[in-house]
Structure 1
Amino acid sequence: MSNQALAATEEKAQPVTPNPFLIVAGIILLSFTMRSPLTSVGPLVGDIRSELGLSNGISGMLTTVPLLAFGLFSPIVPSIGQRFGVERTLLLGLLVLLIGIPLRSTGFIFSLFAGTALIGAAIAVFNVLLPSLVKQRFPSKAGLMTSVYTTSMSTMAALASGVSIPLAHGAQLGWKGSLAFWTVIAVVAFLCWLPQVRAKDVSFSAKQTPSAPRKVWSSTLAWHVTLFMGLQSFLFYSTISWLPAILAHHGMEPGTAGWLLSLVQVVSLPASFLTPVLAGRIKDQRLMAVIVSILSLFGFAGLLVDGNLFILFTSLILLGIAQGALISLALTMIVIRSSSVQEAAKLSGMAQSVGYLLSAIGPMFIGFLFDLTHSWTYPLWTLVFVSFVLLFFGIGAGRNKTV
C-alpha cells in the first residue's frame, strides 16, 4: 500500500475530535434537564393530589421515586458508559427522558409514577457521568466547569419552580400541561448531543488510567463523600417537595409559595457558581463544609418561627445559599477526591447510588411525619438535625486526600 493510501486510511480511521464549545453547550443543556422535571412538581402537588386523590405521603413519592431510580441505576451507569462511551450514554439518557416526561403528564396514577421513574433513570445517567466528562475534557478547569453546570442546573430548577403554577393556571395548561412543558428543553438537549456521538468518546479503559482504581466501597473517605452527597440531597429534595406546603402553613397563596421556592433557587445561583471555583483552588474543604451546613441548619430552624416575615425571608435566603453551595461542593468533591477518570466514575456511581437511596427517604418521610402529627414542627426539626449530622460528614469528605 502506498504512503498516500496509508495516510488516507489513517485519516479516515481517526476519530472526530469533539468541538469544546459544543461540549460546553451540551453540558449546559443537559444540566437544564437535571432538576427542572423535579422542581416543577412541588408547586403542583396540591393540584395533582386533588385530581388523583393522593395522600401527602403518596404525593411525597413523586419526589422519592426519582431518587430511588438514582440509587438503583447509578451503580450500573459507569459500566454502560464504558461499554458505549459517555456521549452515547448521555444521548441514551436524553431519549429515556423524552419518553418519561410525556408519560408522566398523561393524567393517570400509573403513568404518573412510571414516567417519574423513567425521568429518575435518565437523570441518574447525567448525575454519574457528567463529573467524569468534566474531569476528562476539562482536567485543568474542573472547578469552573462544575460551576457552569451546577449553576445552569440551579437556574433552570428555579425557573421551573416559579413558572409551574403560572403555566398550569395562568396559561390554562393544567398540571399535566405544565409538567409536559419541560419536554421542549429535553428535545433541544437531545438535538445538541446528536452530533457528538461521532466524536472521540470518553471511555474508562485501562489506557486512560495508569493504575487500576482502588475499591471505593472500602474507602472511609469515599463513604464520607457519599453520605455528604446523600444528606444534602435529603435536605434539597425534602425542600422542593414540601416548602410550598410549609409556606402555605405560614399563610402564603399557592402561587406565592411557588415563587418563594423559586426565590430559594435563585438565591442559590451565586453560591452554586462560586463554591466549586473556591473549592478547586484550595486543598482542604472542611471549613467550607462546616459553614454551609450551619447555614442550612439555621435556615430550617427559622422556618419554625411563625408570624415573623423577616425571619421567614431570612431563612429562605439562608436555605438558598446553603443548598446552592452544598450540591456544588458535593459534586466538586467527587471530582477532586478521585485521582482518575475511572475512579471519578466509580466514586460518582457510589455517591449517587447510596447517597440518593438515602435521600429518597426524605420527601416521603417528611410527608408521612406531617400526616402523623398534622404539624410541620417535627418535620422541620428533622431537617435541622440532618443539617447538623451533615456537618460531620462534610468535615470527613473535605480532607485533602484522594480515594
Structure 2
Amino acid sequence: MTTKKPLNARSLLLIIGILLIATTIRAPITGIAPVLDMVRASFSLGTAEAGILTTLPLLAFALTSPFSVLFARKYGLERSLFGALLLITSGIITRSLGNVWCLFAGTALIGVGIAFANVLLPSLLKRDFPDRIASLTGAYSVTAGAAAAFASATAIPIAAMFINGWNWALASFALFPVIAMIVWLPQLSNHTAPSQASTSSIQNEKIWKSPLAWQVTLFFGLNSLVYYVIVAWLPMILAESGYSPAVAGSLHGVSQFATAIPGLIFGAVLSRFRDQRIIALSLAAMTAISLFGLLLLPAWNVLWVALFGFGAGATFILALAFIALRSANAHQAAALSGMAQCVGYLIAAAAPPLAGLIHDKSQGWALTLIICIILCGAMAFLGFQAGKQRLIFNQREATH
C-alpha cells in the first residue's frame, strides 16, 4: 500500500483551482436546457436546430481535444488551463449577446475551452497527485455536478426577471470561469511544460492501435451520447409529462446535482475493487433502469431523473478514472484522454439533433429513450472489458 504525501499550501491552492475549473466544464452546456424553449421562440428554431446547441460543444470537444496536448507541451499545463478559462468566459459572453450567430459562435467557443480543460485536467492529476487520482477525480466531479445543478435550477428564475431574459440567465454562468481565473493566477508563475521524453508520436500511434484504448474510448463515447441526449431534452420530456417550465428546470437541476453525489463515495469504492468490471456493469444497468422509468412510469419522474443523474455521474467518474488507471504515466494519460474525447464526442455529437428529429417524426420521446436503453447494453459490455486490471502498455514500453 502506498502512503499519500501530505498536502502543502501550494498543493492545496492547486486543488482549489482545479475544483473551480470543474465548475466550468458542465454548467455552461447543461444550463441552457431549461431555457431552450425560450431560445427557440426568440429565433424561431426547429427542434433539430435547437439540438445543435448541444452538439456544437461536442464537436468542439472532438475536433480540438487532440490539439490541447500539443498546446500544453508548448505553453505548459497551467497556462493552457488559464487559456481554457478565457475561452469559456468569452464564449459565455458572446452567446448571451442576443444575435443568432452569436448564440452558435459563443456555444462553439465554450466547447473549445471546455475541451482543453477536460483533456488536460486528468494529465495534471496524474502528474501532481498520482496517489490521489480517484479521490480528486471524484471531488471535481462533485463540484462540476453541483455547479451544473445550480445553473439549471436558477436559469428560469433569472430569465423571469427580465423580458425575454434567457440571455441574462446564460450570461450569469460567466461567474464560474471568472472566479476560477482569479484563483488560478498564482499557478501561472509556476507553470511547467510536460516533458518530451515519453510523448513521442510513436507512443501516440500505439494508443490508437490499442484494443484497450478503444474500449475506454467507446465506453466514454456511449456514456457521453446517452448523457447529452437526456440532458438536452429532459425539460421537454418532463414538459410532455405535464410539468411546468419552472418545475422541469428544477428537476433538471436535481438530475445535475445527482451527478455530483457519486463523487462523495466513488473514490473509496474504486480503491476497494481489484478491477472495475462489476462497477461498470452496475452503472450501465442503473442508467438503463432510469430510462425505463422515464418511459413507463412518468409519475415517478423525480426518482428517475435523480437515478439517471447518479448513474451518469458515476459513469463519468469511472470513464475519467479509466483514462488514468489504464495509463502508465501522465503523458500517456493525456494521449488517451485526447483520443477518448476526440472519438467519444464525435460519437455523441450527432445525437441531440437526431433525437429531436426522432421526436418530431414519432411524435414523442419513447423511441429515443428505447434507443438509449439499447446503447446502455453496449456500454455495459465495453465497461466490462475496460474494467479489467491492466495497462495499455507497460511501463517499459511507455518510455520508448
TM-score computed with the length of structure 2 as normaliser: 0.92
Structure 2 residue aligned with 1:378: 367
Q: Which amino acid aligns with 1:309?
A: A
Percent of aligned positions with the same letter in both sequences?
A: 37
Gaps in structure 2 of 5+ consecutive residues: 1-7, 393-400
Deviation at 1:31, TM superposition (A): 0.2
* Correspondence for 1:219: 210
Residue 50 (structure 1) aligns with: 41
Q: CA deviation at 1:276?
A: 3.4
Give the Cα separation in 1 of the matches to 2:264 and 2:326.
19
Q: 1:332 to 1:42 in 2, by over 3 A?
A: same
**How big is each residue's C-alpha offset from its partner over 1:178-236, in whole Å with a ceiling of 9 and x where there is no partner?**
00111122111111222211114241421799x95671100000001001111111111
- Where does 1:2-401 land on structure 2 (aligned, <5 Å)? 19-170=10-161, 174-206=165-197, 215-305=206-296, 308-310=298-300, 312-401=301-390
**What's the CA shift string for 1:135-175, capped at 9, x where partnerless?**
11101111111111111111111111111111111466700
Give the number of equivalent residue pairs. 384
Partner secondary structure for residue 303 of structure 1: helix
Do the aligned partners of 1:155 and 1:266 also contact (CA within 8 Å) in 2? yes
Pick which of 91-100 and 279-288 moved more. 279-288
Distance verdict in 2 for CA 1:19–1:172, change over 3 Å? farther
> Helix, strand or coil for the counterpart of 1:19?
helix
Decide whether the 8 Å contact of 2:75 with 2:193 is kept in 1. Answer: no
SS of residue matched to 2:25: coil
Which has the higher Rg, Structure 1 or Structure 2?
1
Deviates more, 1:65-74 or 1:353-362: 353-362
Cα distance per residue 1:315-344 (max 9 Å; x no partner): 223212211111111111111010101000
Letter in 2 for 1:32: T
1:345-369 residue CA offsets vs partner (Å, 9 max, x unmatched): 0000000110011111221111111
Deviation by residue 1:116-138 (Cα, 9 ceiling, x = unmatched): 00000000000000000001110
Q: Answer with 322-331 or 264-273: which moved more.
A: 264-273
| RMSD between aligned residues | 1.9
Q: What letter corresponds to residue 96 of structure 1 in structure 2?
A: L
Structure 1 range deviating more: 269-278 or 41-50: 269-278
Amino acid at match of 1:227: L
The change in CA–CA distance for 1:300 and 1:147 in structure 2 (over 3 A counts) is: same
For residues 393 and 87 of structure 1, the distance between their equivalents in structure 2, rounded to whole angstroms, comes to: 33
Q: Equivalents in 2 of 1:283, 1:339: separation in Å?
A: 17
Aligned to 1:10: none
Q: 1 CA distance for matches of 2:166 and 2:383? A: 38
Whether the 8 Å CA contact 2:277–2:387 is kept in 1: the answer is yes
Tell me the SS of whatever aligns to 1:304.
helix
Aligned-partner Cα distance in 2 for 1:123–1:336:
22
- The amino acid across from 2:389 in the alignment is N
Cα distance in 2 for partners of 1:235, 1:133 equals 27
Is residue 133–residue 202 contact of structure 1 (8 Å, CA) maintained in 2?
Answer: no
